[in-house]
A and B are shown apart, each in its own frame.
Chain A
Amino acid sequence: DGGITQSPKYLFRKEGQNVTLSCEQNLNHDAMYWYRQDPGQGLRLIYYSQIVNDFQKGDIAEGYSVSREKKESFPLTVTSAQKNPTAFYLCASSIMGGGVGEQFFGPGTRLTVL
């Protein structure tokens, strides 16, 4: 069953803690992305990676970190430096190059800071 998965579905964090959100895909996509979605707002790009061992900052990278050690995996760490981390986090993947442009999204992780 091909697709993109995220875990956990819900995550609660105490202030001052780092937490890591998981994103895995078996679509053989080269590119992966992390977005943040706040209520009533669009998706804002946090980080993206076009190839293993390489990634770039998006529009709101402060307080977040990522790694891309495997093609299938792109975990996102929300650090204590992120002052307002409560949000819905979406991971996505796509092929590279000039082919189909669709980004496939995971089901999301809802993070709440207690």
Chain B
Amino acid sequence: DTGVSQDPRHKITKRGQNVTFRCDPISEHNRLYWYRQTLGQGPEFLTYFQNEAQLEKSRLLSDRFSAERPKGSFSTLEIQRTEQGDSAMYLCASSETSGSNADTQYFGPGTRLTVL
């Protein structure tokens, strides 16, 4: 078990471009979460999946953000027409839905996005 992985680790893009991030959760974890974190703040919830179903999406998330988890395994987060305010660390986490660790979310290393 190699933990949650995210790709890329760093992304620099120009304003207006689209970017896509990937998250591979811990195998057998059927819940997957996306968070965004800016300097000096805690992670802010964006969306989460149980298997392939997207169960909740933050009201703060604009229509430029979309996430998928087509086969219930890896997930992608796409940001269209990026803005400088999108610059942040994007964190992925996964968890089980049963067992003694059902509530525990394990975080990946994050993708740091810089929008110029």
Tell me if chain B binds chain A: no
